[in-house]
Amino acid sequence: MAKAKVKFVCKECGYETPKWMGKCPNCNQWNTFEELVASKGSSKHTFVTGEASGRSKPERITAIETKEEARIETDMEEVNRVLGGGIVPGSLVLIGGDPGIGKSTLLLQVSSQLANSNHKVLYVSGEESIRQTKLRSDRLGVTSDQLYVLAETNMLDVSNNIEQINPSFVVVDSIQTIFKEEVTSAPGSVSQVRECTSELMRIAKSKEIPIFIVGHVTKEGSIAGPRLLEHMVDAVLYFEGERHHSFRILRSVKNRFGSTHEMGIFEMKEEGLREVENPSEIFLEERSEGSAGSTVVATMEGTRPMLVEIQALISPTSYGNPRRMATGLDHNRVPLLMAVLEKRVGLMLQNQDAYVKVAGGVKLDEPAIDLAVAVSIASSFQDKAPKPDDLLIGEVGLTGEVRRVARLEQRVQEAAKLGFKRAIVPRKNLTGWTYPGDIEVIGVNSVQEALKVTLGGS
């Protein structure tokens, strides 16, 4: 009998070591090593692509013939947008999100739409029985005969069923429940997740079958398991949203076949997920006009401009250290912008608590929202409301200057469609494009200028 060989694998980054360590030297995380028992002489992990058979020969890149891959489009334009125009044959897509956020609902709806388009679909459920999946499909109105449901967790049985049915599309929900009998560790462990994903990737590449796999997330919000899992797949999508809001956001963080900054927005209804065609109008419909501390910014999510409201509340602190809280944006950005306002504009904010929020549960991470956040803070502090039809766009530097942003023309055009009358933008962005006729574009060089335009002075 082969001698068992023990090694330890970091579940965050996949780093391997023959002995246990408290801190991973590769990613510097603590208590992330899991024991992996492998049989001596066992084969190493091989990632087999469509044409890799061990007898492949290198070819000159100029001699390789290429052809345009025909993508499989779903009835959901938001899903097509995030995937870069549709589903690529032979792609392996990982989708993660909090429990109960709607991952299974989204994939069952997509499976139903593909099945209605005469594509044979196999839905592998490792967490629900066939009857439970049927109950959910009845609620969503799934009635296609081309949709097959399999309640199985053994990777060998899953592979055999894919071989027999030969589907055009496969969903595995979830990868943490699938296991291979040859691997001695429990389902969901580093070795099981890696081996099962490797097998699914081999199937996807060799048979040109697009496969969607669902991954659980940790309490920090990242996909559970080794980071190697994200490196192996072709696309990584996050399905996120606030539990107390009906809106859900499908965000692309990795995509070998499209943009990594695209975002699709859905609304959760009783009959399933419904696409939101105009997210700007949805996010601004509950805005209270004429309120101090409220501004609107145009942010770019991939190729789509989107208008969202930023709210700030500044109040005197009752503690020695004032609080700085942010929801929907980087919490480090709030004290930075408050320091700029205090140093460059002269607002005494050092004894004020600050609470900044992006309304609607959206998360923004681009620097073009700086000016709107700074004006919101100053507006709440001075208790002066900016005009409700003002739009603010710009990055703020540490010296108080307003720096140029990308794709300003699309942002301003989206604001003009929704009836905004003024756009306060970086002055260096004013040249090289044509302004919409029904909106006034005002260029500013500094935060102080922006405050004079919006609030009538600093």
438 is in an annotated binding site: no
Q: Go through 9-29 and write b for each residue having 16 or more CB atoms within 10 A of its CB, e for each that does not.
A: bbbbbbbeeeeeeeebeeeee
98 is in an annotated binding site: yes
Phi first, then psi: what are they for 134, rounded to 5°? -65, -40
What are the residues facing 308 on neighbouring strands? 297
456 is in an annotated binding site: no
| Residue 439: DSSP 8-state | S
CA–CA distances in Å: residue 315 to residues 114, 205, 210, 382:
53, 58, 53, 10
Sheet holding 247-255, edge to edge: 147-151, 121-125, 169-173, 211-215, 92-97, 235-240, 247-255, 263-269, 272-275
What string of DSSP letters covers 271-288? TEEEE-S-HHHHHHTT--
103 is in an annotated binding site: yes
104 is in an annotated binding site: yes
- Identify whether the C-beta of residue 357 lies closer than 8 Å to the C-beta of residue 291: no
| Residue 344: DSSP 8-state | I
84 is in an annotated binding site: no
**Radius of gyration from C-alpha coordinates of the chain:** 26
Instruction: Count CB atoms within 10 A of the CB of residue 430.
Output: 14
What are the residues facing 391 on neighbouring strands? 423
- Positive or negative CA dihedral for 354, 358, 364, 366? negative
Q: How many helices (DSSP H) and strands (DSSP E) are in the chain?
A: 11, 21
- Tokens 């388009």 correspond to 117
Tell me the C-alpha distance between 454 and 373, whole Å. 13
In three-state secondary structure terms, 375 is helix
- Positive or negative CA dihedral for 346, 350, 353, 358? positive
Q: Which residues are annotated as part of the binding site?
A: 97-104
Q: Which residues are annotated as part of the binding site for ATP?
A: 97-104
